[in-house]
Amino acid sequence: MVRCLVAAVGVSVLQLLFDAIGVGWTFSLFSGLCFSTTPMLLVARRYSSEWRKQRELAEKSKKEKQASTL
């Protein structure tokens, strides 16, 4: 149900953009948005293993702390 609602909203927004700025500029806008988010993927790829290790250490220390208080 949610997928269909999001698709309907997306199509209506897309049609509004087509009418307002044209087809070419609409797809140029979307490609610019995709291109501008690429650095976030590179950052996630570079630092994800470090973030995972930090999270695991934090969870481990939290569990040890809880075990010591029992």
Whether the per-residue pLDDT at 11 is higher than 90: the answer is yes
Is residue 64 situated within a structural domain? yes
Which domain does 38 fall in, by range?
Answer: 24-70
Q: pTM (2 decimals)? A: 0.57
- Count the domains in the chain: 1
Measured CA to CA, the distance from residue 45 to residue 61 in angstroms comes to 26
Residue at 63 is within a domain: yes
Answer yes or no: is 54 within a domain. yes
Residue 11 belongs to a domain: no
pLDDT > 90? residue 69:
no
User: Could you tell me if residue 7 is inside a domain?
Assistant: no
Average pLDDT for 18-28: 95
DSSP assignment, residue 22? -
Q: Is residue 34 assigned to a domain?
A: yes
* Residues sharing a CB contact under 8 Å with residue 21, sequence separation 6 or more, in sequence order: 29
Q: How confident is the model at residue 14 (pLDDT cuts 50, 70, 90)?
A: very high
Residues contacting 17, CB < 8 A, separation 6+: 26, 29
Give domain status of residue 40, yes or no: yes
Q: Which residue has the tokens 């999270």?
A: 55
Q: Look at residue 15 in the predicted model and tell me its pLDDT.
A: 94
